[in-house]
Amino acid sequence: MKISIIGTGYVGLVTGACLAEQGHQVQCVDISADRVASLNRAESPIFEAGLEDLLRRHVGRSLSATTDLDAAVSSSEVTFIAVGTPFNGHEIDLTAVLTATRQIGAALKRKTGYHVVVVKSTVVPGTTDERVLPELESASGKTAGVDFGVGMNPEFLSEGEAVNDSLFPDRIVLGGIDERTIDLLERLYEPFEADVPRLRVNTRTAEMIKYASNSLLATLVSFSNELANLGAALGGIDTVEVMRGVQLSQYFRGQTKGGLPPITSFLNAGCGFGGSCLPKDVSALIVHGRRAGSSMSLLESVIRINQAQPRKTVELLTKHWPSLEGVRVAILGLSFKPETSDVRESPAFPIMRELLTKGAVLTAYDPVARHEAEKAFPDPAVTYCDTLDAAIANIDAVIVVTPWKEFRDVPARLIGRQVVFVDGRRHFDKHLVAQYEGIGL
C-alpha cells in the first residue's frame, strides 16, 4: 500500500520504518528540512534500538522523506497524521494536527480517487469526528464517507522499545467513521502477526482507548506513590516490600480462560464495588493516613466515585422516564457479587434507596441472598420475591446489579416486552435487548 505519514518524530518515523519493513511504500513528511535530509541519508534523528537498521534497509527503496506534503498525499492512498499534541497548560494543543489536516485537505482537493486519512497522534475523544473531519471537508470541498475515509489508529509504542513495539504490537486499534475505512486499515495491518488482537471501533472509542491506557498507568504510579508516602509517614514500612506483596497476588500472576491476568476483571465499569472488604478497608486507610498527616487524595476519590455509581445507574432510567414516580423496577442480584450471600455494602441498597426516593415501585430478587437482603434493607416498599419470574412479572424496567448465572436468559425473557434493561455490570451483550442501558455506553 502507498502510505504518507505527516510528522517524522518518534511515532511517525518509527511507524514509517516499520510499515516499510512490512512491505508498504512509505513517504515520511516533516516540516524540518534537516530531519528530512538526515532521514534520506538513512540517519535517524532519534535514538531507538533497531531503527537505523530499518532505515538502512529501506531508505531509497520503500522508504523516503520529504517536506512536500502535497506531493506525498497525492501519490499515496493513506495518510497518517503523527504530529505532536502537547498539553499547553490549559488544554490539548491541536495546532499541529489541524495545520497538517488543512494541508492534507488542500492536497485532497486536487487528488482524484478515494483516500483515507488516519489520525495516529493522541487526541482527546471527539477530535477526529468534530475537528479533523470537518477541517478535511472544508479544505478539500469533498465529503467524508464518500470521497475519503477518516480513521483513528492510536499508537502504543513506548520510547526505548519503539521499533519492537511497533513491529510486534500487543493490539491494533482500528477506529474509523465507516466500515470501508476500517477495512482498509485492516488490510494495511494484514502483514503484522495474525494473532495480534485487532479491535474495530468508532473513532471516539479509539481515541478513548489510548487515554484510558495511559491514565491507568499514570494512576497506578500515583497509587504506589500515595501508599509509599503513607508508609514513610507511618514508619517501619518499606514500600518495595509492600508492592512486591501486592504484585505476587494471583490477580497479577494468574491467567483467566481468555489468557488475561485476573486483574483485568476489575477493569469493568458498573454500578460500583461493595462487599465486606473493599469499602471498609479503603475508608479505614484514608482515615489512618489523614491522622498520620499523609494525604490520601487518590483513595478519597476512589470512594467518592464509588458512592456516585448507584446514582449514575438510576440516572440511566431517568433517560426513559423524566419522573420515576410509579415506575415498576425489578432489582436483580442483591449480594455484592455472585456466588455469595454476603450483602454487606452491596450497591443494590443505595440503588434501591435512590429509586424509592424517586417514587419507583420495587421488586427484588437474589438466588441466595434474598433473606439477608431483606434483613439489611427491610423497607416495606420493596417486594422481595422468591423467584426470578415473580420479580420480573409486571415491570417497566430491570436493573441487574449482580450478574448471577441464573440471570443469563433474562434478556431472552424480555423479548417482546416494553422493558428497559439496565445492565449494572456491563455483563450482557447490548444487542440482546431492545432497550439496553449500561454504565459507560
**What secondary structure letter does DSSP report for 226?**
H
Site residues for ligand NAD, 402-421, by CB under 6 A, read: none
- By CB under 6 A, residue 334 contacts ligand NAD: no
Cβ 93 to ligand NAD, closest distance in Å?
10
Instruction: Count Cβ atoms within 10 A of the Cβ of residue 187 and give its class: 0-12 exposed, 13-18 middle, 19 or more buried.
Output: exposed
Distance of closest approach, residue 166 Cβ to ligand NAD, in angstroms: 10
| Binding characters for ligand NAD, 109-148, by CB under 6 A (x = yes) | ------------xx--------------------------
* Rounded Cα–Cα distance for residues 358 and 404 (Å): 27
Catalytic residue among 18, 271, 277, 385: 277
Element (H, E) at 270: none
Q: Check binding of 81 to ligand NAD (CB under 6 A).
A: no
Residue 281: CB atoms within 10 Å: 12
Site for ligand NAD in 18-77 (CB under 6 A): 29-32, 35, 69
Check residue 7 for interaction with ligand NAD (CB under 6 A): yes
Binding segment (CB under 6 A) for ligand NAD, from list 80-88, 139-147, 393-401, 414-422: 80-88
Minimum gap (Å) between residue 108 Cβ and ligand NAD: 15
Q: Which lies closer to ligand NAD via its Cβ, residue 35 or residue 115?
A: 35
Q: How far is the CB of 55 from ligand NAD (least distance, A)?
A: 15
- Give CA–CA dist 139/137, Å, rounded: 6
What stretches of 235-366 show up as alpha helix (H) in DSSP? 239-247, 250-253, 278-291, 297-318, 348-357
Among 3, 4, 5, 12, binds ligand NAD (CB under 6 A): 12
What number of other Cβ atoms are within 10 A of residue 149's Cβ? 23
Q: Name the residue whose CB lies closest to ligand NAD.
A: 9
Residue 195 CB contacts under 8 Å (≥ 6 apart), including other chains: none
Q: Which of 19, 72, 73, 96 binds ligand NAD (CB under 6 A)?
A: 96
How many CA atoms does the CB half-sphere of 152 hold within 13 Å? 27
Residue 18 is among the residues annotated as catalytic for this protein: no
99 belongs to the binding site for ligand NAD (CB under 6 A): yes
Give the full edge-to-edge strand order of the sheet including 2-6: 63-66, 25-29, 2-6, 78-81, 115-119, 148-152, 172-176, 198-201
Report H helices in 133-255. Answer: 133-140, 162-167, 179-188, 203-234, 239-247, 250-253
Query: CA–CA separation, 350 vs 273, rounded Å?
Result: 12
Q: For ligand NAD, which is the closer residue by CB, 97 or 271?
A: 97
Among 18, 19, 63, 82, which residue sits at the site for ligand NAD (rule: CB under 6 A)?
A: 82
- Positions touching ligand NAD (CB under 6 A) are 6-12, 29-32, 35, 69, 82-85, 96, 99-100, 103, 121-122, 155, 157, 159
| Residues known to be catalytic | 277
